[in-house]
Amino acid sequence: MSFQRLAVTTKRLELDALIHCLSEATKNGESEGIGAVASFLGLVRERNLGHRVMKLEYEAYEPLAMHAFERITSEVVERWPATQLALHHRIGVLAIGEASVAIVTASPHRADAFAACRYAIERVKQIAPIWKREFFEGGDVWIEGATADPDDATAREDAYRRTCV
């Protein structure tokens, strides 16, 4: 495979490249084949909580982030065995409209592809050691959410609940 399924990168995210990496991987005919590809892009929004955002800076603890992505992949495969996942997160300074995270899931059927994709983004938000700093007119602030705990069963169930399975 010429393209990594999981990555933390300073480069612009390319959804097509992620999709390609999944579809290539199953051309060996071992399964039903891929019938559904769901994907998600998180973009830098120009407004947050009522104020205008100029840019965002993302910072990651990269090796732990990669381990978190591997964990998310395992969780997805455990729940949706025929489903594949690719997940790239961008770091560095991002302009409005740029993608910070790209997730692609591929599955024989669409219910699984959608569910796995939604689950993956929820889990990224919960446990990926990635922080963002928001730059606005006159200042900047680190956005802090919830404590990252990959073993928190409640968080995991919450992510699962959002998939509507």
Residues contributing to the site for a second copy (CB under 8 A): 15-16, 19, 23, 27, 29, 31-47, 96-97, 99, 108, 110-111, 113-114, 117-118, 121, 162-164
Which of 131, 134, 133, 160 has the alpha carbon at shortest distance from 147? 131
Q: What is the DSSP string of 67-122?
A: HHHHHHHHHHHHHSTT-EEEEEEE-EEEETT-EEEEEEEEESSHHHHHHHHHHHHH
Which tokens is 65 given?
Answer: 């982030």
Taking the complex as a whole, how short is the minimal distance between the CB of residue 133 and other proteins, in angstroms? Answer: 7
> Which CB sits closer to a second copy, 46 or 63?
46
Which one of a second copy, other proteins, none interacts with residue 129, CB within 5 to 8 A by kind? other proteins
Site string for other proteins, 3-22 (x = CB under 8 A): --------------------
